[in-house]
Amino acid sequence: MEMVILLVVIVAAVSAFEIAGMARKKQTREIIIFIVLALFTLAMGIYYILAPHDKSLIYYAFKFLGLDL
Amino acid sequence: MLSDDKKISIRQAIFLFVTASFTPTVRIVPAYAAQKAKQAAWLSPVVTAVLLILLVQLWQVIYRKYRDKSLMDIYCDIAGPAAGTVILIIYLLWMVLLSALYIRYFAMRLVGAIYPNTDISVFIISMLAVIVYTLGFGVTTLARFNEVLLPFLVIVFCLIFIMMIPNFRTDFLTPVSVRSILPVLNASMAPTGIVAYFSFMFIFGDRINNKENINKIGFKMVLFLLITQVVIIASIISTFSYRIAQRTQLPFLAAVKQISVFNLLEKVESIVVSVWVLSDFIIICFFIICILSMLKSFFRLSDPKPLIGIYVIFSYFLAMLLANNVFEMERMSEDIALPVNIILGFVIPAIMFVVGKIRKKV
C-alpha cells in the first residue's frame, strides 16, 4: 500500500509541476495529453504494484497471436 | 553548417542511428545468425547492406520532394489523412513498445552480466533520470553528445577486436558454399530488422537539415555497418564456433571474457558493458524522441517537452509489465520484433514510395 501512495505522490508532484508550466503558456492540448498519460501511468503502476508476478504483456501477446512461448 | 540550432544535420542523425543500432546488433544478431546460417552467419550482413542501400536511395528520392517534412507528414500526404493516421498509430504503438523493451533489456543485461541479484529497478530508475535530464535539452544536445560518443565507441570496439584476434580460429568460419545462400538469407532477418530503425529516424525528419546528402552519408554508413556487423559475428563464431554461439545468451560478452593479453590485461568485459550502456542510453532517447515527435504531430502540440517526465514514468511501468524473464524478451525480439521492424522500416516505406510514384507525389 505504501508503494501505491508513493506512486500517487510522484505522479501528482510531476503533474503539479508540469501542468502549472503548461497552464502559464496556455497549452491546453498539452495539458489534456499529459492528464491522459498520467492516468495511464497510475493505472499501470497500481496494477504492477498490486500484482508484480502476474503474467507478462509478452505472454498475453503470444497467446493473442497463437504462438507458443 | 546548421541553419537552425534546433535542427541537427543528416550526419548527426545518422550517427545517432549508428550508435543506437550497436546495442541490438551485439545482443541479438550473432546468436540469431549462428542459429540460422551456422558457420556462414558472418555473411548475413551483406544481404542487409544491399537492402539498406536501397532504403537509403528510397528516402533520398522521397526527400527530394518533401524537403522539411517528417515521416508523419509524408505518409499522410501520400496515403491520405485517414490511411496515413492509421499507419502512424501503428508506428506510435510500436515505438512505445520498443522503448519499453530496450529499457528492460538494458537493466536485464546489467544484472545478467555484472550485477547478479540486484533489483533491476535500481538501474532503470537511474537511467530514466539521466534520460529525462538529457531530453530536456532537446535532440541537438543529444546529437552533439553522440558525436563525441560514437568515435569513443568505435575505438573501444576496434581495440577489443584486436585483443580478441589471438583466440580466433578461422576454420570455424568455413566451409561456405552455394548451399549457404538460403540460410544466409534467413539469418539476415536479424541485422535487417535492426537497420530498419533507419526509417524511424525520419519521424523527426523535420528537424534534420541537409537531407540532400542522405545518399552520400548513407552509403558510408552502410559500409561502416556492414564491416562492424561482419566483424561482430565473425569474431564470435571464430572464437566459439557457431554451435556455442547460437546457445549463448550474450555471446559477444562471453567472447570478450576470453581476452587475455600476455596474462596481464584481463577482465575487459567491464569496458564492453559500459559502452553497451551508453548505446542503450542513445537508443532509449532515440525512441522517446520519436514518440514525442509523433505525439506532437498527432495532437498538433506546440511543445511536447512537458510530457517527457510523465512518459518516462509510464515507460518504467510498461517495461516492468512487459516481461517476467529474459527468455520471454528474447522470444519477443526474434519472433515478433524483427519481422515488425522489417515491415515498418522497409516494407511500408517501399509501399509509400510506390503509391507516391503512382499518385505522382514522389
pLDDT tens figures, A2-59: 889 999 999 999 999 999 999 999 899 999 999 999 999 999 999 999 988 889 999 9
Nearest alpha-carbon partner for A44 in B333, B322, B305, B107: B322
What residue ranges do the domains of chain B occupy? 10-358
The pLDDT of residue A33: 95
Look up the pTM and report it. 0.94
Best of B301, B321, B338, B340 to disrupt the A interface (most A CBs within 10 Å) is: B321
CB < 8 Å & 24+ apart, contacts of B123-127: B124/B316, B124/B319, B124/B320, B125/B316, B127/B103, B127/B277, B127/B280, B127/B281, B127/B284
The pLDDT of residue B175: 87
> For A26-53, b where at least 16 C-beta lie within 10 A, e where not — what string?
ebeebbebbeebbebbbebbeebbeeee
Q: How far apart are CA B313 and CA A44, in angstroms?
A: 10
**Cβ–Cβ of B306/A29 closer than 8 Å?**
no
3-class SS of residue A26: coil
CA B109, B114, B120 angle in degrees (round to 5)?
A: 50
The pLDDT of residue B261: 75
CA B355, B95, A65 angle in degrees (round to 5)?
A: 85
Q: How far apart are CA B259 and CA B266, in angstroms?
A: 6
**Cβ–Cβ of B324/A10 closer than 8 Å?**
no
Q: Which CATH superfamily is domain B10-358 in?
A: Hydantoin permease (1.10.4160.10)
**Cβ–Cβ of B332/A37 closer than 8 Å?**
no
Q: How far A21 CA sits from the closest chain B CA (Å)?
A: 8
Residues in chain A with CB shorter than 8 Å from the CB of B314 are 37, 40-41, 44
SS3 assignment for chain B: CCCCCCCECHHHHHHHHHHHHHHHHHHHHHHHHHHHHHHHHHHHHHHHHHHHHHHHHHHHHHHHHCCCCCHHHHHHHHHCHHHHHHHHHHHHHHHHHHHHHHHHHHHHHHHHHCCCCCCHHHHHHHHHHHHHHHHCCCHHHHHHHHHHHHHHHHHHHHHHHHHHHHHCCHHHHCCCCHHHHHHHHHHCHHHHHHHCHHHHHHHHHHHECCHHHHHHHHHHHHHHHHHHHHHHHHHHHHHHCHHHHCCCCCHHHHHHHCCCECCCECCCHHHHHHHHHHHHHHHHHHHHHHHHHHHHHHCCCCCCCCHHHHHHHHHHHHHHHHCCCHHHHHHHHHHHHHHHHHHHHHHHHHHHHHHHHHCCCC
Residues in chain A with CB shorter than 8 Å from the CB of B332 are 58, 61-62
The pLDDT of residue B270: 82
Q: How far apart are CA B41 and CA B47, in angstroms?
A: 11
Nearest alpha-carbon partner for B290 in B201, B195, B194, B193: B201
Q: For residue A38, give the chain B residue with the closest CA.
A: B310
What ipTM describes this predicted complex?
Answer: 0.95
**Cβ–Cβ of B310/A47 closer than 8 Å?**
no
Q: Is A21 on the interface with B (CB under 8 A)?
A: yes
Q: What is the mean pLDDT of each run of 10 residues along chain B (362 residues)?
A: 71 95 92 92 95 96 90 93 93 95 92 85 94 93 94 92 88 88 94 95 92 91 96 92 86 84 76 89 96 92 92 95 90 93 96 93 84
